Structure 1
Amino acid sequence: MPPLCFLLLLLLLLGSVSVHAGSAGKGSLSGPEINVTKRFSFPGFSPVGDPGVLHEVKLLGSAMLSAELGAVQIPDVSEGADLRHLAGRALYSFPVRLLDPVTNTPASFETSFSFQFKNDSSVVPEGDGSSTVGHGGSGLTFIMVPDEFTVGRSGPWLGMLNDACDQRYKAVGIEFDTRHNPQFGDPNDNHIGINLGSIVSAKTINASDLGIYLKDGFRHQARIRYDGEKRWMDIHLGSLGKELTLEPAFSGALDLSEFLEEYMFVGFSASTGNLTQIHNVFSWNFTSTSRAFLRMPSAESCEGKIILPSSTATGFAKRRPTSGFFIFVTVVVLILVVIASLFYLRKHKENKSSKAILVEKIKRPIPPNKPRQFTISEISSATRCFSEDEVLGSDSRGTFYRGKLPNGRQVAVKRFSPEFLNANGLDKRQMMKEINAISHVRHPNLVPVRGWCRHKGEIIVVYEFLPNGGLDKWLFGAGVLPWTRRLKIIKDAAEALSFLHLKKLAHKNMRTSSVLLDLTFRAVLGDFGLVLSGSESKRFEAAVSQAVDVFEFGVFILEVVAGRKRLDPDAPQNQIDLLDFMWRMHEVDEKAKAIDRRMGSFMNAEQAIRAMDIGLLCTLNESKGRPSMDQVTELLSMDVPIPELPLSRPMCLFPYSSTTGLCAGYSCAPLR
C-alpha cells in the first residue's frame, strides 16, 4: 500500500476517534439568562482621605487629583502657568461590561456626577476677535472608550477622540460644551451633546433653555440613564443643591450597540484650546447591568475517567485487559504507519537541491519591532488596497497612507509615485541602501522605520504611525500652539538632525510636514528625503548633503516662530517669501514684528527673537558662518552667545548653497 494510503487510513482512524470523543463531550453550552451588575461610587476624589482612589482612578494626559478640592482636575494645574492646548482623561481603572455580544444588546446604566468649570485665564490672544474676555473655553465629556491608554486631542475635540478620522475607534460621549465650534455643528457655547464615535454630536441640547449656564462658576450635577433593552436615554441636568429638573434635558431613542464593545472603560475627558478652563469633577456614581447567559457543564460525563470504589470495580477490572490489548495493537499499527510515511517523505525530500534545504534551515523568526521587508500583499491589506479613505497626505515624491498590520499596530505607509521612481538617473539600488541605513537608526526624536517593500516597479517605506500628524497642520491650522511648545519642538527637531549628522546621514527633507507630533507633543522627525534623481543631484549637489539640512532647519525655525509658511501667496507682496521678509526685519532691527501675534502675551519675545537669530544664522553661506547642527543644538540651549549676524546677507538667487558657499550657475547679490 502506498504511503499516501497509510496517511488516509490514519486520518480516518483519528477522525473516528475524534467523532467518538466529540459525541461524548456534547452538552449544553449555555444556560439561563443572568444579569451582570457593576456598581461603584466616589463621594470625593481626595487621595489623602481615600487612598484607594489612586488605585481605582486612572489618569491620562493632563489630569490630576486635587487633595485640596477632593476633585478630579483637567488639565493638570501643577504642570505650569500655560494651560492651553492640553487634554486629559480620568477613567475608572477596571473595564465595565457594556454589551452582550450574543444578542448585541447594550447594557443598561445610570451615572450621576457633580462638576464645575472654572475660568483659569480669560486672556484673548491678539488678533482673535471671535472671543471676549471671560468666556473661557472647551468643556467636559462623560466617555465610554475601548482602552485605558489613549489620550484624546486638545481644543474642540474635548479629549474624546485621538484620531479624528479613525472611524474604527468605538467611543460614546456625553459632552457639556462651553465653546461654540460651528464646524462641529455646535448650536452655541452652552450646550449638551451626544457623540457617537464622532466629535460631531448626533444630538444637541441647549442648556440655556433649562436655565443653566455651564460656565457660570457654580457646581452642577448631571444624571444619565440608559435602558439597553429599549435603547432609550434620559439626561437630567441641574445646579447642585437644587432638585434636578423633572423634565429631562433629553429623552429619546438611542441605539449605542454599534459604538460599544463588550468591555469598555468609563470616565471623563476634557481639554483646553486657545482659551483655558479648569474642569473639576467632585463626585461620581455609576451602575450598569448587562444580560449574559450562564455557561452550564455538560450533561454527559466520561465514565472511564471516574475512579469507582473497589467493591464495584471487580467486574470492570476483569474485562479491561481485553479492551486494553486491542488499544495497544491499534496504537502500534498507527505508529508503524506514521514511521513508514515519514521515511517515505524523507526519501522524497532528499531529492531536492541542497541549496533549498540550506535556505530553509537559516530562516529565523523576525522580532516584532525589527525592520523587515513586507510583501506587496501585506501592504495592500494593511491600507485596504491603498484606499483613498486611508490617505494621510501627499507630496511630489508620493502618497502617505494609514495602515494597520495584522498584529494591530498602526503604521504610516509612504508609497513613492511612479513619476518620482522613473525620474531620469534615479538609482533605486542606492535608494534601498539608504532606506536600510535609516531603518537601523534609533533616536527618541526620529520616527522608527518599521520596514519596506520593493515589488516590481514599487518602492514603499513603512513608518510607525503618529496620530497627532504633522506639525504643519497644528502650526498653520485653526489652533494656536503656545510658545513653550514651539520652542520644545524646535529643540527636539535639532536633536534629531544632530544625531543623524553624527551617524554620517542626512535627512534631505527638512520641513514642517516632516516633523510629526506624538501623543505628548514631542517632535519626531520622519518622512526622510532618501535620494534625489541624478539630474537634481548634479544641479544642486548640496541637496544631498548635511549642509542643506542646516539651511532648511533655519527656514524651519523661522516658520515656527512666525507661524507662517516659507512661501505664502496670501501674504502682502513684500512678505510672500518668509526668508526674505525675515532678513529685512533684521536689517531694520524690527524682528519682533515678524513673531506670530496669535501667541498673545504668554509668548517670550526674548526667546523668540533669539530663535529667529539662530534660524537666520543657519541660512548663511557656509563660508560666511553657517553653523553645524551640533553647534545649533548648543545655541538653542540659551546659554551660548550667538555669533553676530551681518546686517545684510549675500544670498544666492536659489536658496541652496554648496559646500563652497556658491550656487553653480547662479549669480549672487546682496539681499535688500
Structure 2
Amino acid sequence: MAAHPFLLAVLFLPHLLTASAAEPVTSTASVRSSGSGGSSSSSNVSFDSAALSFSDLTLLGDSFLRNGSVGLTRDTGVPSSSAGSVLCSRAVAFGNSSAAVSSSSFAVRFSFVIANQNAGSTGGDGIAFFVSPDRATLGATGGYLGLFNSSTESNNVSAAIVAVEFDTMLNEEFDDQSDNHVGLDVGSPVSVNAVDLAAYGIVLNSGNLTTAWIDYHGTDHLLEVSLSYSGIKPSRPVLSTVVDLSPYLKDAMYVGFSASTEGSTQQHTIKEWTFQTFGLPPASNASFSNATNNASAQAVPGEDAASAAAARKKRFSLAVGILGPIALAFAFVFFTWVSIKKLIELTSRKDALPELVKGPRKFSYKQLSVATRGFHASKVIGKGAFGTVYKATMPAAASAAATIYAVKRSTQAHQSRSEFVAELSVIACLRHKNLAQLEGWCDEKGELLLVYEYMPNGSLDKVLYGEPCTLSWPQRYTVAAGIASVLSYLHQECEQRVIHRDIKTSNILLDGNLSPRLGDFGLARLMDHNKSPVSTLTAGTMGYLAPEYLQSGKATEQTDVFSYGVVVLEVCCGRRPIDKDDGGSKNVNLVDWVWRLHGEDRLIDAADPRLAGEFDRDEMFRLLLVGLSCANPNCDERPAMRRVVQILNREASPVPVPRKKPLLVFSSSASMKLQEIAFSCGDDVRGGLPATTSPKSEGGADIER
C-alpha cells in the first residue's frame, strides 16, 4: 500500500522543485519511435534486442527464434546448406541530408555461438553483422554468408551492403586468409580488410559464447572490431582499419545479422545484441526552444533575488517533508519484499537439492574457476546436451598428486536449472560400475556446475571414429556389454526406474582401462515402476530416436533400448547412425543398411573393415542381431535390457530377427500428433508459424525441418 503514495510523490516532486526557467531537453529516438512504414528519423537511435518484440524483427531464409535467441541456420545433425538473416524492421538513419554531417557513428555489441552439431562434419561458413539499404536482404549460402550473390557488384554504391564477417571457412576465391578470421566487406564477399584470429586466442567455431564489439567513428573514418569470451571488452581490438563508410550509410538503412553453411551441420546463434548511433544532431526544434526560453525570461524580472531564493527554499522544505516519510515507508516495504524473496529462494533450493551434502561434495566456484584457469577455451574437452565440459586440475599438497576432474558448465544457466536439478537428483543416488561417477557440484554466481570423475580416454565416438581407430574387438564387446548392464540397472533394478533418453556414443565415456561409463543425465527422468511415463518434451539426438517416441512424445525403457541398438550397430560397423554412402552423395540410415545385409544373408559383411577380420565371428554375429532386435521399429518386439545382458553373457539365445525390416505405419491421427509434438516442443518461430517435423526415413530416425 505504501508504494502508491510514493509514486504520487515522485510524480509531484518535479513540480515542487522546478526552476523558473525551463531547460530544453534533447531526447534519443528509439527504434519504436521511428516513422511508420520503415521511415527513419534523422536523430540518434539506441535499442536492445531484449526489448524488441517479434513485430520489430524481420526473419529471412532459415532463421528462427528460440528461447530469446536467434538461430540463423538450420539446427540439424545432417550436413546441409543453409542461409538466414534477421533484421530490425525499422529503418535507421545513418546520415542527415539537411545537415552538415554526412554520416553518423555507430556501435554494436552482440554475443554469438558458432557450434558444429556433428563432430565429423566440416565447418563453415560464418556469421556477419551488416547494414543494408534493403530490408529483404538474403543472399546465397556458403562463402556468400547469406548476404551476397555471385552477381553482386561491389561498385554499386547505392545498393552496397556493409558487413563485418566472422568467417570460419577458408574460401580461396574470396581471398580469405584462414578459416578463422574477421573481415570488413563492402558490397562484396571479398573483404577490403581482414585479420587472422590465430594470434588473439579466439576460435570462432569453438562453441563458446563469444562477444563482439563493432565501433565506427564517422569523424575519424575508423572502424574497430573487438572479441572476447569473457564479455569484457578488451583494450586491444582484433581489427582496426581506416575506412570512409559515408558513401554507403544513407538516410534509411537496415541493420541485422546473417549466416550461412554449405554441406555442414554448423549452427549460428545470436544470443543478444545492442545497437546505437551517435553524432547526429538532435531532432528538437530550435525556434520552439528559443521561444520557450524567451517567454520564461519575461516572467522573471518582477522577482527580486531574495524572494526567489525564499520560494525555492520553501518548495524544497515542502518536498522533503512529503517525500521523507513516504521514502522510509517504501524502503521498509522493499526490504521486507527482498527478505521474503530470499527466504523463498533458499527454501526452494533446499527442496530442489535434497540430501546432496551426504553424497557428492559441494565445490566453491572459486575452486573450479582456478582449476579450469577461468574456464579457459584450452581446457574444453567436450560438449554435452546442456553445457561445455572442462578439464579441471585441483592442486594438492606437496606430498600428493593433483586431482583431475571433468566439470560440466551450463551454457544457459538461467534456463537450465531444471536440467541441473534433474541430473543431480538422478545420479546422486545411483551406484554402478558403468556409470560416470559424480564427485561434486556447485551452484554459485548464477553458474550451474557438475563435477565428474575424469575419463582420460574421452568419449566412445572420438575413439571409435578416430583415425586410426585403436578400439579392438574385445574392447568393443566389453563396451556393448557394460552399457547393457547399466541400462538394465537403470530400468529394472533401481527403486525408481530411470529413462536416460539420450543414449549415444558421445555420452558413453571410457576410463583408463577403456571400460564404458554412461554419463550426461540432463534429459533423464525418474518415475515409479507402476506409472506410465509421459514426457512433455520430445528430446534427444537425431539418428537415435525411436519412431514411437517421435510419434507420441512418450519416453519409455523401449526408447532407450532403440538408442542402445543403434549404438551397438555403430560399435560393430564403425559407421555413424546417419552416414554418407560410398559415393558420398546420399545419406544412409545405419539400421536400414544393416537390415538389408541381413536380408541378403550377408550380415557379417557389416563388420567394421578397420578390424581387418580380427574378431570373433560368433560374437560379431550375436552382437549384430542384438543391435537389430533392439532397433526394431515396433517397440513391442524389442527385448528388455535384462534379456540383452543374458544374451551377451551367453546365458540366452539371441532374439529372432526377421529378414525384412518390419514396416511402421503412421495413421492419420498419428501424423496429427507429430504436428502437436512439433508445436509443443519446438521453440522455433519463422514468420509467426511453428516449425513442423515429419519422419524422413522408414524407421523415423531422421527429421527433415
Same fold (TM over 0.5): no
TM-score by length of 2: 0.38
**Structure whose CA Rg is larger:** 1
TM-score by length of 1: 0.40
